[in-house]
Amino acid sequence: MAAWPIFSNSMEARYFASLVPLVNCFRLVVNGLSLAADKGLVKSVTREGSPQELLRGPLYYVLILILCAIVYWRESPTGVISLAMMCGGDGIADIIGRRFGSQKLPYNHKKSWAGSISMFVCGFLISIGMLCYFSSLGYFQLDWTMTLQRVALVSLVATVVESLPITEVLDDNISVPLSSMLMAFWSFGY
């Protein structure tokens, strides 16, 4: 009897896993286009309470989740690091930056040293933690001396990209994971 995809290394497992963000992608699009009215979703996920906001940051967020699940799955540190930087690093930058970000960056007064430093540190730590977990499950074997250096480089690049005043042009839920993917793929080679 074929093993249930969720518990196997079969190609189907990654597509099965990507159903969760895919369902949320559908919810975001339907509510973002006002084809439905999930007030709880709009209130919990948007800043100004506008349904159209769902079609920007939140939608990009789940699209990146789907991309990483399907393209990188459990075989590559690139997907793990990219999501750690987007979900963990960028997320903590918002929390710390809003609360403690009085010292603004010289080239972007909307961002702060506290936010960026917290993004670098937490993005690095979460990435290493997730890589340790995936390695302990046997999904990949890493040279940890090189890995620490590579993840620090990826975290630095992602932090610099996130700090740039380009959010109006390119949402950081796209620029942070994509810059992380490029640097991680270049560093790890897969």
Ligand X SMILES: Nc1ccn([C@@H]2O[C@H](COP(=O)(O)OP(=O)(O)O)[C@@H](O)[C@H]2O)c(=O)n1
Ligand Y SMILES: C/C(=C\COP(=O)(O)O)CCC[C@H](C)CCC[C@H](C)CCCC(C)C
Binding site for ligand Y (CB under 6 A): 20-21, 24, 28, 45, 57-58, 61-62, 65, 83, 87, 173
Q: Which of residues 135-154 bind ligand X (CB under 6 A)?
A: none
Question: What tokens were used for 114?
Answer: 């506290």
Between residues 45 and 154, which has the closer beta carbon with respect to ligand Y? 45
The CA distance from 77 to 148, in Å, is 12
The CA distance from 81 to 149, in Å, is 13
Q: Which helix (DSSP H) or strand (DSSP E) does residue 39 occupy?
A: helix 39-45
Quote the least distance from Cβ 143 to ligand Y, whole Å.
26
Q: Which of residues 156-185 bind ligand X (CB under 6 A)?
A: 162-163, 167, 172
Position among 94, 135, 139, 178 found at the interface with ligand X (CB under 6 A)? 94
Binding of ligand X by 110 (CB under 6 A): yes
Q: At 111, phi and psi to the nearest 5?
A: -120, 160
Half-sphere exposure of 168 (CA within 13 A, CB side): 3
Query: Tell me, what amino acid is at 43?
Result: K
Binding residues vs ligand X (CB under 6 A): 57, 90, 93-94, 97-98, 101, 110-112, 115-116, 119, 162-163, 167, 172
